[in-house]
Chain A
Amino acid sequence: MSSFIKEWQANAELLLRHGLYDPADEHDACGVGLIAAIDGKPRREVVVAGIEALKAVWHRGAVDADGKTGDGAGIHVEIPQGFFKEHIARTGHVAGGGRLAVGMVFLPKTDLGAQETCRGIVETEILNFGYEIYGWRQVPIDASVIGEKANATRPEIEQIMIANDDHDHDSEGGGGNGDAGDAKFELDLYIIRRRIERRVLEAHINDFYICSLSCRSIIYKGMFLAEQIDDFYPDLKDDRFESSFAIYHQRYSTNTFPTWRLAQPFRMLAHNGEINTIRGNINWMKCHEPRMASALFREHGEDIKPVIQSGSSDSAALDAAFEVLVRAGRSATLVKTLLIPEAWSKEVAMPEAHRALYSYSNTVMEPWDGPAAIAATDGRWVLAGMDRNGLRPLRYAVSSRGLLVVGSETGMVPLPETEIIEKGRVGPGRMIAVDLVEGRLYHDREIKDMLAADKPYREWVRNITELRHQPGADAALEARYEGAALRWRQHAAGYSMEMLEMVLAPMIEDAKEGTGSMGDDTPLAVLSKGYRGLHHFFRQQFSQVTNPPIDSLRESRVMSLNTRLGNLTNVLDEDASQTDILLLSSPVLTNADFIDMRERMGDSAAVIDCGFAADGDENALRDAIARIRREAEDAVRGGSVHLILDDSHIGEDRAAIPMILAAGAVHAHLVRNGLRTYTSLNIRSAECLDVHYIAVLIGVGATTVNPYLAQDSIIDRHRRGLVGKLSLEEAIARYKQAADQGLLKIMSKIGISVVSSYRGGYNFEAIGLSRTLVADIFPGMPSRISGIGLAGIQRKVLEKHGTERGVDAEPLPIGGLYRYRAGGETHAFAPALIHMLQSAVGSDSYQLYRKYSQAVADLPPVNLRDLLDFRPLGEAIPVEDVESITGIRRRFLSGSMSLGALSVEAHETLAIAMNRMGAMSCSGEGGEDAERNQPRANGDNANSSVKQIASARFGVSAAYLNNCSEIEIKIAQGAKPGEGGQLPGSKVTAEIAALRNATAGVTLISPPPHHDIYSIEDLAQLIYDLKQINPVARVSVKLVAQAGIGTVAAGVVKAKADVVMISGHSGGTGASPLSSIKYAGAPWEMGLSEVNQVLTLNRLRHTVKLRADGGIRTGRDIVIAAMLGAEEFGIATTSLVAMGCILVRQCHSNTCPVGICTQDPKLREKFAGTPEKVINLFSFIAEEVREILASLGARSLLEIVGRSDLLAQVSRGSPYLDDLDLNPLLVQADPGEYTRYCSLEGRNEVPDTLDEQIIEDVATSLLAGEKKQLAYSIRNTHRAIGARLSSMITRRFGMDVLKPGHITARLRGSAGQSLGAFLVQGVKLEVFGDANDYVGKGLSGGEIVVRPTVSSPLAAHKNTIIGNTVLYGAIAGRLFAAGQAGERFCVRNSGAVAVIEGCGSNGCEYMTGGIAVILGAVGNNFAAGMTGGMAFVHMSETKMRQRINQDTVVFQRIESAHWRALLRSLIVEHGEQTDSRRAQRLLENWDVEQDRFWQICPKEMIDHLEHPLSDVALAATQLAGTGD
């Protein structure tokens, strides 16, 4: 097995050096929690419960193929002083009276020299601080319980024990176990640890790691399965291991290489989730470091830097930042507030004191943003906290015996229901904590009150100068440039008519970015012959799987563009100087905003001219960049608190430095010199016009951006009367609004809510920028394919700068980037090719197809693959010897396009054609008519063999999921990864509404994330659920290429996916924002090859099929994709072309003139596609593949899968590029004994759940049609209860055939996740206890009841009984829960009826049908994006107004007898089902209580209601009716 280690390391080394793999991309997630004794007294019970809890979250981690190697688990407990002192005594020493410290140390295992060096360093540093060492203890372990891989990387695990002999003569210590003495000891141990870490690093020793070094607590962790922890570390079984707290963690990593140090908990916290802003946070931490100082660190201030060690995971980095802030004297509760604040700026109900606390926090520290459930301790406080958006589950229970139990799931530590006095959840941005010293439990409000009162924050924040936009100021401004001068500058800045009309005009007219459709078929910027602004080289990063994107429109409450400017002080301080800053509500400035800001800055700002001589030598640009860096540095050193980079001083002889370069160069230079936090960096740019450009500027470090020429262009349009009736002020305001919204959207794509954490985070991937340039100007930004450097950029800028030779009157260039224009950019779907292909498939002419294919090959390079060619495997062989067309065609898919994007005719034609070939079509996101499940009279089968499940879950029912051979989880799509969508009501026809369980004419919204996938273990859960609801279908996961996708894919495979699909950036769309089509996602060549490399590295490749799609047009593309690792291929746009698509690119306008992408019946008549044409296309491509294979000497496609050694780069792009080297794509990892393709038969199976038992118990009676009542005890490890049973019923009878209540299962205990997922009619689950997340996911007619046990003393409605994301995508059925639900209750419910007693934030989000009755308060942002269904909430008016999101709904008291009766009947039913005391009380006082309910109705539904909201209105209309 050590061969695995060697091979892995060799492979990793190869890939790291030459390939696409970067370990920094790795992600982890997990289960987390803590147990605390509220009285602060150590108990054995706490440790035992911690270990017990770990054993109940195994399913949140992943297991290696050996069944033993886990991704890591650990526990953090108090040091049992007695235990260690006894050990010391046994070694013949006498332990002193004070607390001894224990260091838990991982030492190099095999390199004994290094091991000894490490010991030496550890001892020296401790002794240097004047402490005495008792000695080393070899920690007893049982290596037999861990897997071979884990064992092979196992370090030498030892403990070093240190005496606190210092405390005895510490004047403050006062002797004994004095707190102050311990505090100083603890602080010294921190500094000692940091010094040791530094020295070990300097000694170039890798396998050394200190888990903990403390006199208070100790961490046991390692690469075992969670349930093995106390077998591996028998210490933990010792009864002397008592603790007042235990923090525990189970890890799920995207990596398979067992890395011991990455197991959690870390020194202060354990974290579940992912810090999306990690790059920005680490960069800013570096920026803060130079000024970071605390008296507490005395002369050792430098020893603690760098605060974050390189190679840290996001959680480890967060821990390091958390620790330094705590060590500098803050409480853990305050540090949580600083680092992971609540969303406060738009929170109207927040007390003023809290607001001041947050406002202060905001001036000090950039939030660490992203899904985060943390359990942390500083020695005194033990806390559990949640991110601002509530994206991880964190449930807690308080027992009557004084225990606080918090964890990712309820039921992890089984407590007797009779002893539980409180059950709750930690809400968004909230905390729950125990003060171990005081011995008291604190809830969130109490903690915040205490923190807010601690310092005069309200006074401090008065120093903040807020700059507000002055209404009318912009309209009063003269244009800086107009007429010919404007035209010239537009030319010089690279503007085209297309930019003004397609990008700028919609921003003004609609106050949002323009929409486009279909994919991007233009060359990558680095391959283009024309001028492309520098922003074209930046691809936006986005969230997929390991963290969720945010909906910046419907969840705007958590988003913030607040921008602070000025001199940022020492982050370790706590005083009024930190708030002496300027504050802007957005980093995007209008010209008037800029002038205002400039005036406020006065002498404290320095302006730097960003031009360079147009007639200079080849180093002119390089010299200019050096100059502006020098000037910036001089200015800051000279005391400038603000820098302004300005490119307006250009002329015929002076060109502008691309401002992205200027901003990046200055930012990076200041960071390197420790000067960045002394100044703001403000950009005035002519070239900057669209949202992507703005985002890039901020992403590379700009503080503010003023797109001044865009504004002058708006003034020009206004003057020419092109903005309709808008006033100039309005026009500019709308542009700014569009820019702000666009920026928020780009941030939200990667899951970042606050701009201060996005700034300088380089959340991009460079494609085709020189590596040297990136390293110098954008350090840390991924750039895997080198390309244009400064010399090339200078050349391009000057080419453009000089185009204006003597011709005044010529209009701006026409463009051609978004749509084909003669003389403009190359488009891969060139007009002549389309006609040629259509003739070929129409006339069944392979000859003509070959002509087409040759013409595609002859195009100027568009994609990276166009620079590659084949190397033969051997002698050419006759084509007849190659596998058949039929065989090859089975590997083809027609893409995943929904009915709704496509017309029924086109959608069915594709399905029929693919089925005839034995190939695959995918339903897309939008349901599919059940009629298509049965073959037609002529033998055609229109059923899509792949069914898609996307974020909106449209039409995803038990029946839908059982009529397919594969289920595709669409995580992202190439044209708009990280974004949701919106189908406006005008396009929701009756047919579409029926398929999607919606109302015709009412808007449908697709959320950006799957609300049941915020993290990798969530995906594992969804895959688990799907494999339950369909016992045979494979599950595929569709990802979009980007840097780091390899590790994501590895995690996906570990989650038991059967197919991973890699989409390229060029994939099509029915409607997307233009900047998303252009700037998000990477080419599939890069993504595919990275995934293939990393999966091979991790020995996972052979267990999964790899699939590629995005702009595949010919057999050549297929063979290249195969060589890069794909074995299945999606061809979508080209198959549309075969059906008649001519790239009109108006899919979003519903005017497709060829009837493909439209719902207009008149246009659908024009559809001229046939299955034959589609079959011809795929057959031609397959035939071409055969010919290529024959010429290479390969007999089958599988033979060349993953054979990137058969590809050679034949072109290196333009001569002025730095080396455009594609070799990283072509590096091969060694697969060892496994195949380079999927050799798995069937699918990757998942463990069984309770249903195995249920099915056994009902099988015979169900067949006989008998009713059945069952009873079981359950635990949280029983997941997706009812799904497998529902599949069986659906397959045998149909999902809506059995009578309700046919099978009833009574379940006692805490139900695992996805209780009753896809439960069908006829099945009822009654839980006595509680349930976790995803209850009733995709509910398809079944009934779920969750209620406390009869013996529970809880007031049910004040406690949490079901978890987050309940009834997600439910279609039909009923849910009654006697208690509160977590966040996002009823999200995307489209038909289920539910009664609960309260819920967390974002309730009823995106709901389109069904009824939600909530008998208590709801959380923030209720009913956001709700466009259908109805909700009733019992809550005060003040709270209702604060918490509802009124964008799409109205709310009112109940004014109609119909609705009143319905509400009452549901409450009655709730009472009957759950024995709810709440229901009983409401009904007893119904006369009063009925008027305390609110009715929430979507605005768009009002006209569609069968029963109007108000009887008065009804009577009025009836009256009016009779009056006529």
Chain B
Amino acid sequence: MSSRLLQFTSRDRQTPEKRGVDERRGDFAEIFQDFLPQGATEQAARCSQCGIPYCQVHCPLGNNIPDWLMLTASGRLEEAYGLASATNTFPEICGRICPQDRLCEGNCVIEKDFDAVTIGAVESYIVETAFAEGWVKPPVPRLEREQSVGIIGGGPAGLAAADRLRRLGYRVAVYDRHDRIGGLLIYGIPNFKLDKHVVARRVDLLEEGGIAFHTDFEVGRQESLEALRARHDALLIATGVYDARHVTLPGSGLANIVPALEYLIASNRKGLGDPVEAFDQGGLDAKAKHVVVIGGGDTGMDCVRTAVRQGAERITCLYRRDRDNMPGSQREVGHALEEGVHFEWLAAPEAFLGTDAVGGVRALRMRLGAPDAEGRQAPKPIPDSAFTLPCDLAILALGFDAQDMSAAFEEPALKLTRHTTVKITERSMMTSLDGVFAAGDIVRGASLVVWAIKDGRDAADSIDAYLLVKSANGRADVVAAE
């Protein structure tokens, strides 16, 4: 079959149809259409079928990308779905929101000279076909086990663990403090990247598979961690990180300077039809405003593009390094530029101007210093280069820190790292509490969804190993973290 592959020398890269800028600026719908069958087959067939698939090497999940590309190119979609879902609990989500240009596609062997295979789009195509054909099945186990696992946090890490544990036959309960299951997938990521029905569809399947969801459940408030430990044979902490990093500058205390997540959640809730007071009062609505977003990561891009769709007057993104050094996906930057966002690269805020509410941002031009050991260039301010941007809404997208879970759970025995993330033993993923595991951002700090999925799956395997031993000899062999 491989004769049908290796077409990259003769066939150019094509992405699925992207909606026009004018059209997509006006709504929150996803900007890419799905591949048509012909396009997916042809694009998948560009794969070089490498002896070392760097796409897979650089995929946190180790997805068998060349193999499902081969299957897609050969029209064997059901098998392709089988493979794609074997390593990835939510391939439809990764296909949409993974920064492929930094992971699989960015490391595609033919990327350098021929442009990478459109891996993400093919992945979405495979999974959407699978949904349409009814190949996607709820996680119903072949045999039920008596033991149960409680999962704190219904985001990607928690759900990935839940799915896997359920397939292995455990009883699984997920606790989340929000009113919907999905975590950042629901509230953090804007619809134009990930439509909410995609998440809901998956959550429904999980529920159908027998996973119990408890929303509006905050550990430490509704029930103590102690009580959950007593109820379940194992627990998984997968709460994610939500505490926005702040910046302390002159004028930081002015109104209408908001953290990114607060802004995005409000927008997402509005999209879901929830009443959001702060939005309705205008504080979180960018409509007709001069918006300045500070930070060049993926969250920053989500903010600027949300602001576009809310009808902002002018949107500017401030970032202290240059475009090449932006941490966010270049592809997202590209979309933002297309959609009319202004970028001030090599610029850092010096002060927020205004009396009650913010009215402007004064910024300094930067230059990049010599590269450090890791090759990263530290930005240095250029003296006397200050300039001012008008600003009615400043959004800080500077990253997130972990909440002190030990305090939140009122469990002093739960050890944390110096970054206040939860401390685990690396191989077993167990925290300092016996039978309590942790995964996702709350362990590794703010990161990509794909890493959360990976951690959730690994944690599930660790929990499985732990529970097998526990049921066999009534005690655990897995050692708790120091």
Contact of B48 among A505, A808, A1153, A1160 (CB under 8 A): A1153
Instruction: Enumerate chain B residues within 8 angstroms of A720, measured Cβ to Cβ.
Output: 76
- B7 → chain A, closest Cβ, in Å? 9
Instruction: Enumerate chain A residues within 8 angstroms of B67, measured Cβ to Cβ.
Output: 497, 501, 814, 821
Instruction: Enumerate chain A residues within 8 angstroms of B112, measured Cβ to Cβ.
Output: 1153, 1166
Chain B, 26-54, CB within 8 A of any chain A CB: 48-54
Verify A822–B70 contact, CB threshold 8 A.
no
Provide the A709-726 mask, 1 if CB < 8 A to any CB of B, else 0: 000000000001010000
- A1069 → chain B, closest Cβ, in Å? 13
Instruction: Enumerate chain A residues within 8 angstroms of B2, measured Cβ to Cβ.
Output: 1149
Majority SS at the chain A contact face: loop
Provide the A1132-1164 mask, 1 if CB < 8 A to any CB of B, else 0: 000000000011111001010100000010110
Contact of B51 among A811, A819, A1163 (CB under 8 A): A819
Verify A1145–B50 contact, CB threshold 8 A.
yes
A1147 — nearest CB in chain B belongs to which residue?
B51
| A1146-B6 in contact given A806-B168, A807-B167, A808-B142 (Cβ < 8 Å) | yes
Instruction: Enumerate chain B residues within 8 angstroms of A827, measured Cβ to Cβ.
Output: 52
Instruction: Enumerate chain B residues within 8 angstroms of A1166, measured Cβ to Cβ.
Output: 112-113
Verify B50–A1143 contact, CB threshold 8 A.
yes
| A820-B82 in contact given A501-B70, A807-B142 (Cβ < 8 Å) | no
- A1158 → chain B, closest Cβ, in Å? 9
Chain A, 872-918, CB within 8 A of any chain B CB: none
Verify A814–B83 contact, CB threshold 8 A.
yes
Q: In the docked arrangement, what's the CA distance between A1457 and B83, Å?
A: 64
Provide the A816-838 mask, 1 if CB < 8 A to any CB of B, else 0: 00011111000101011010000
Chain A, 499-536, CB within 8 A of any chain B CB: 501, 505, 509, 518
Is residue A937 contacting chain B, with contact meaning CB distance below 8 A? no
A806 — nearest CB in chain B belongs to which residue?
B142
Verify A820–B53 contact, CB threshold 8 A.
yes
Instruction: Enumerate chain A residues within 8 angstroms of B142, measured Cβ to Cβ.
Output: 806-808
Verify B9–A1162 contact, CB threshold 8 A.
yes
Is residue A1515 contacting chain B, with contact meaning CB distance below 8 A? no
Is residue B86 contacting chain A, with contact meaning CB distance below 8 A? yes
B168 — nearest CB in chain A belongs to which residue?
A806
Contact of B109 among A509, A820, A1142 (CB under 8 A): A1142
Q: In the docked arrangement, what's the CA distance between A464 and B67, Å?
A: 50
Instruction: Enumerate chain B residues within 8 angstroms of A811, measured Cβ to Cβ.
Output: 79, 82-83, 86
Verify A821–B53 contact, CB threshold 8 A.
yes
Q: In the docked arrangement, what's the CA distance between A497 and B76, Å?
A: 13
Q: In the docked arrangement, what's the CA distance between A497 and B83, Å?
A: 10
Verify A822–B113 contact, CB threshold 8 A.
no
Interface size class of B (residues with CB under 8 A): 35 or more
Q: In the docked arrangement, what's the CA distance between A1252 and B121, Å?
A: 75
Is residue B100 contacting chain A, with contact meaning CB distance below 8 A? no
Provide the A13-36 mask, 1 if CB < 8 A to any CB of B, else 0: 000000000000000000000000
Is residue B270 contacting chain A, with contact meaning CB distance below 8 A? no
| A1163-B9 in contact given A819-B52, A1144-B109 (Cβ < 8 Å) | yes
Verify A1144–B52 contact, CB threshold 8 A.
yes
Contact of B169 among A497, A806, A819 (CB under 8 A): A806
A831 — nearest CB in chain B belongs to which residue?
B57
- A922 → chain B, closest Cβ, in Å? 24
Verify A1153–B109 contact, CB threshold 8 A.
yes
Instruction: Enumerate chain A residues within 8 angstroms of B54, measured Cβ to Cβ.
Output: 831, 1142
Instruction: Enumerate chain A residues within 8 angstroms of B48, measured Cβ to Cβ.
Output: 1144, 1146, 1151, 1153
| A1146-B57 in contact given A809-B82, A823-B62 (Cβ < 8 Å) | no
Q: In the docked arrangement, what's the CA distance between A1166 and B57, Å?
A: 23
Contact of B86 among A501, A810, A819 (CB under 8 A): A810
| A722-B109 in contact given A807-B142, A831-B54 (Cβ < 8 Å) | no
- B165 → chain A, closest Cβ, in Å? 12
Instruction: Enumerate chain B residues within 8 angstroms of A808, measured Cβ to Cβ.
Output: 142
- B326 → chain A, closest Cβ, in Å? 23
Instruction: Enumerate chain B residues within 8 angstroms of A1143, measured Cβ to Cβ.
Output: 50-52
Instruction: Enumerate chain A residues within 8 angstroms of B74, measured Cβ to Cβ.
Output: 722
Chain B, 96-119, CB within 8 A of any chain A CB: 109-110, 112-114
Verify B8–A1153 contact, CB threshold 8 A.
yes
B142 — nearest CB in chain A belongs to which residue?
A806
Is residue B230 contacting chain A, with contact meaning CB distance below 8 A? no
Instruction: Enumerate chain B residues within 8 angstroms of A1153, measured Cβ to Cβ.
Output: 8, 48, 109-110, 112-114
| A1151-B52 in contact given A505-B1, A811-B79, A1144-B109 (Cβ < 8 Å) | no
Contact of B9 among A810, A832, A1160 (CB under 8 A): A1160
Q: In the docked arrangement, what's the CA distance between A807 and B464, Å?
A: 13
Verify B52–A834 contact, CB threshold 8 A.
yes
A509 — nearest CB in chain B belongs to which residue?
B1
Q: In the docked arrangement, what's the CA distance between A1283 and B54, Å?
A: 53
Q: In the docked arrangement, what's the CA distance between A902 and B324, Å?
A: 35
B144 — nearest CB in chain A belongs to which residue?
A806
Is residue B56 contacting chain A, with contact meaning CB distance below 8 A? yes
Verify B6–A1149 contact, CB threshold 8 A.
yes
Is residue B331 contacting chain A, with contact meaning CB distance below 8 A? no
Verify B82–A1151 contact, CB threshold 8 A.
no
Verify B62–A822 contact, CB threshold 8 A.
yes
Q: In the docked arrangement, what's the CA distance between A763 and B50, Å?
A: 34
Is residue B141 contacting chain A, with contact meaning CB distance below 8 A? yes
Instruction: Enumerate chain A residues within 8 angstroms of B168, measured Cβ to Cβ.
Output: 805-807
- B240 → chain A, closest Cβ, in Å? 26
Instruction: Enumerate chain B residues within 8 angstroms of A518, measured Cβ to Cβ.
Output: 51
Chain B, 117-140, CB within 8 A of any chain A CB: 137
Is residue B72 contacting chain A, with contact meaning CB distance below 8 A? no
Q: In the docked arrangement, what's the CA distance between A834 and B50, Å?
A: 14
Instruction: Enumerate chain A residues within 8 angstroms of B6, measured Cβ to Cβ.
Output: 1146, 1149, 1151
**Most chain A beta-carbon neighbours within 10 Å: one of B51, B109, B112, B142:** B51
Is residue B143 contacting chain A, with contact meaning CB distance below 8 A? yes
Is residue B64 contacting chain A, with contact meaning CB distance below 8 A? yes
Instruction: Enumerate chain B residues within 8 angstroms of A1146, measured Cβ to Cβ.
Output: 6, 48-51
Instruction: Enumerate chain B residues within 8 angstroms of A832, measured Cβ to Cβ.
Output: 57
B2 — nearest CB in chain A belongs to which residue?
A1149
Instruction: Enumerate chain A residues within 8 angstroms of B82, measured Cβ to Cβ.
Output: 809, 811
Contact of A821 among B9, B56, B137 (CB under 8 A): B56
Q: In the docked arrangement, what's the CA distance between A827 and B141, Å?
A: 35
Q: In the docked arrangement, what's the CA distance between A814 and B65, Å?
A: 11
Verify B64–A814 contact, CB threshold 8 A.
yes
Instruction: Enumerate chain B residues within 8 angstroms of A806, measured Cβ to Cβ.
Output: 141-143, 167-169
Instruction: Enumerate chain B residues within 8 angstroms of A819, measured Cβ to Cβ.
Output: 49-53
Verify B52–A829 contact, CB threshold 8 A.
yes
- A182 → chain B, closest Cβ, in Å? 71
Chain B, 66-96, CB within 8 A of any chain A CB: 67, 70, 74, 76, 79, 82-83, 86
Instruction: Enumerate chain A residues within 8 angstroms of B86, measured Cβ to Cβ.
Output: 810-811
Instruction: Enumerate chain B residues within 8 angstroms of A1162, measured Cβ to Cβ.
Output: 9
Q: In the docked arrangement, what's the CA distance between A821 and B48, Å?
A: 15
- B55 → chain A, closest Cβ, in Å? 11
Instruction: Enumerate chain A residues within 8 angstroms of B9, measured Cβ to Cβ.
Output: 1151, 1160, 1162-1163
- B327 → chain A, closest Cβ, in Å? 21
Instruction: Enumerate chain A residues within 8 angstroms of B114, measured Cβ to Cβ.
Output: 1153
- B386 → chain A, closest Cβ, in Å? 39
Chain A, 821-858, CB within 8 A of any chain B CB: 821-823, 827, 829, 831-832, 834
Chain A, 783-827, CB within 8 A of any chain B CB: 805-811, 814, 819-823, 827
A521 — nearest CB in chain B belongs to which residue?
B51
Instruction: Enumerate chain B residues within 8 angstroms of A1151, measured Cβ to Cβ.
Output: 6, 8-9, 48
Instruction: Enumerate chain B residues within 8 angstroms of A1163, measured Cβ to Cβ.
Output: 9
Can you name 23 A-B residue pairings with CB atoms under 8 Å? Answer: A501-B1, A501-B70, A720-B76, A806-B167, A807-B142, A811-B82, A814-B67, A814-B83, A819-B52, A820-B52, A821-B56, A822-B57, A822-B62, A827-B52, A834-B52, A1142-B54, A1143-B52, A1146-B49, A1149-B6, A1151-B8, A1151-B9, A1153-B114, A1160-B9
Smallest CB-CB A-B distances: 6 pairs:
A1145-B51, A822-B62, A831-B57, A1143-B51, A811-B82, A1144-B50
